[in-house]
Amino acid sequence: MRSDLAKSYGQDRLPRYTSYPTAPHFSPAIGEADYRKWLKSLPARQSASIYMHVPFCRSMCWYCGCHTSITKKDDPIAIYTSGLRTEAHIVAETIGQRLPVSHIHFGGGTPTIMAPETFADLVGALRYSYFVLPDAEVAVEIDPRTLTEPMAEALAFSGVTRASLGVQSYDSDVQIAINRLQSFEQTAQCVERLRRSGIGRINFDLLYGLPLQTVDSCLGTVAKCIELRPDRFSVFGYAHVPSFKKHQRKIDESTLPDSLDRHLQAETIAEALVDAGYVRIGFDHFALPDDDLAVAKREGRLRRNFQGYTDDAAEALIGLGSSSISRLPQGFVQNVVATKDYLAHIADERLATVKGYAFTEEDRFRADIIERVMCDMAVDLPQVSHRHGRDPRSAIVDRSRIDSLVADGVVTMIGDRLAVSGGAEFLVRSVASAFDAHLARSQATHSRAV
């Protein structure tokens, strides 16, 4: 693959396509009443997933793009988790049935910032209000610098099956530049605690494109991580959007790598992981061959949601907590972002929904195409079009982009069947964008394509 492709396409600002349509298209026209109606119409005995957002950390990492705030006190966390328990109950009451749940994901922020007994109580409340299936995956995001032995035990007691650890980079200069000092020993101790407690499925999160980051430092970080043999890696490109996340202004933009350097970093990490026996999943995930994600890829069951690539087949995702997004068959809804406002809604026994999006048949058609492109690096347009009763000739929105990608060898087109060329996976967002009917009129600021 020609090295200039990263330069040609890398500056494009494009969605990550963890949803379609993407969050900037949500509107206050869809609100609490719509969400209540959608919840009540969920089919009986059809499993769903739950996402719980915990928007607190002990210190701010300057690269962070999440909805979170800093607290040194425990009281705000305890009050918030009480709100989570109440919201979980309100949603369950609205649904009107004990909904089967196949996946639970605790994200943040730092979910393990809460007291061990509080976490166990929160999971207990979920199990009371919902039927958490015996083989459900229960995953939690962890800051390895703060995980205690009692918390690791509480996670195991609560039935957590997977832990996702933020690593980012072990380069000391990079760590100083992003305000996240984390030693390899801290990460190793965290992994040991989790495995000793019986939580054997471990994910690592890495970032490239950080200030002062180099190809050599990326290689050094990966080599240390491989020593701990996690089951999965998520390798994300740093999204520098200081107009949206003001703390990112603390990062010196002159120290950020350009698109070509970002591409070299990403592909160097990818090659090292593949050489170590990991399977490439989509464009930014890697898993051991026997991991559920790798199995889903082999069997054509790979999906994409707000956490990235997943084997979660549930058609409904219930988002709990401030800023959380729910996906139901009818559309998306999002909770209010500010914690104070979220708690006010819950105290009044209201759903915290403030905006959303109702799917059209056109949206469902395009979402299906984009998910297959993102997951399979290929799409059979006649096949997808037939599922939706559409003409395959209407699928491509930006024909000039596809023509350019074909001319540059990024994709091949045989009739109406498209495939991303080997070695061009890093440009899959550019490919997917050619099917996005909303992108041209979007005013949102997205991350760079490379």
Q: Express each pLDDT in 168-225 by its tens digit.
A: 999 999 999 999 999 999 999 999 999 999 999 999 999 999 999 999 999 999 999 9
Sign of CA dihedral 432, 436, 440, 442: negative
Same domain, yes or no, for 189 and 110?
Answer: yes
Supply the pLDDT for residue 1. Answer: 44
Same domain, yes or no, for 315 and 403?
Answer: no
Same domain, yes or no, for 282 and 370?
Answer: no
Q: How far apart are CA 88 and CA 136, in angstroms?
A: 17
Give Cα separations from 394 to 20, 51, 112, 386, 388 (angstroms).
17, 35, 47, 12, 12
DSSP class of residue 278 equals P
The two three-digit tokens of residue 434, written as one number: 């050619």
| CATH classification at residue 283 | 3.80.30.20
Supply the pLDDT for residue 155. Answer: 98
Supply the pLDDT for residue 441. Answer: 73
pLDDT at residue 141 is higher than 50: yes
Same domain, yes or no, for 90 and 158?
Answer: yes
- Which burial class, exposed, middle or buried, applies to 226 when counting CB atoms under 10 A from its CB (0-12, 13-18, 19+)? middle
pLDDT at residue 8 is higher than 80: no
- Could you tell me if residue 330 is inside a domain? no
Q: How far apart are CA 131 and CA 318, in angstroms?
A: 14
Same domain, yes or no, for 201 and 142?
Answer: yes
- Could you tell me if residue 328 is inside a domain? no
Supply the pLDDT for residue 413. Answer: 94
Tell me how many helices (H) and strands (E) the chain has. Answer: 15, 21
Same domain, yes or no, for 83 and 148?
Answer: yes
Supply the pLDDT for residue 5. Answer: 80
Supply the pLDDT for residue 65. Answer: 86
The two three-digit tokens of residue 25, written as one number: 């298209």
The two three-digit tokens of residue 314, written as one number: 């549930």
Print the domain residue range for 76.
Answer: 4-9+17-320
Angle, in degrees to the nearest 10, between helices 32-40 and 75-95: 50
Same domain, yes or no, for 368 and 312?
Answer: no
What rounded mean pLDDT belongs to the chain?
Answer: 94
Of residues 82 and 23, more confidently modeled: 82
Number of domains in the chain: 2
- Per-residue pLDDT, averaged over 279-303, amounts to 96
Same domain, yes or no, for 282 and 423?
Answer: no
- Which burial class, exposed, middle or buried, applies to 262 when counting CB atoms under 10 A from its CB (0-12, 13-18, 19+)? buried
Same domain, yes or no, for 270 and 204?
Answer: yes
Supply the pLDDT for residue 426. Answer: 87
Supply the pLDDT for residue 168. Answer: 96
pLDDT band at residue 450 using 50, 70 and 90 as cut-offs: low
Same domain, yes or no, for 91 and 226?
Answer: yes
pLDDT band at residue 443 using 50, 70 and 90 as cut-offs: low
pLDDT at residue 243 is higher than 80: yes
Q: Which of 320, 351, 382 is the last residue of a domain?
A: 320
pLDDT in tens, 346-389: 999 999 999 999 999 999 999 999 999 999 999 999 999 999 99
- Per-residue pLDDT, averaged over 287-307, amounts to 95
Q: Are 188 and 228 in contact (CB under 8 A)?
A: yes
- Could you tell me if residue 341 is inside a domain? no
Q: What is the pTM of this model?
A: 0.93
- Could you tell me if residue 236 is inside a domain? yes
Q: Are 131 and 97 in contact (CB under 8 A)?
A: no
- Could you tell me if residue 352 is inside a domain? no
Supply the pLDDT for residue 7. Answer: 73
pLDDT at residue 442 is higher than 70: no
